[in-house]
A = this chain, B = another copy of it.
Amino acid sequence: MSAKEEKYETLKLGNQLCFPLYACSKEIIRKYKPYLDEIDLTYTQYITMMVLWEQKSLNVKTLGEKLYLDSGTLTPVLKKLESKGYITRERSNEDERNLLVTITEEGEQLRERALSIPPAMGSCVKLSPEESELLYNLLYKIIGNVR
Contact = CB atoms under 8 A, between A and B. Distances in A.
Contacts of A124: 145-146
A21 B146 contact: no
A17 B136 contact: yes
Q: How large is the interface on A (under 10, 10 to 19, 20 to 34, 35 or more residues)?
A: 35 or more
Chain A to chain B: the 3 pairs with minimum beta-carbon distance, closest first: A20-B139, A25-B25, A10-B118
Given A47-B19, A118-B16, A26 B138 contact: no
Given A18-B121, A26-B68, A8 B115 contact: yes
A17 B145 contact: no
Contact of A126 (B25, B68, B145): B145
Contact of A50 (B12, B27, B50, B54): B12
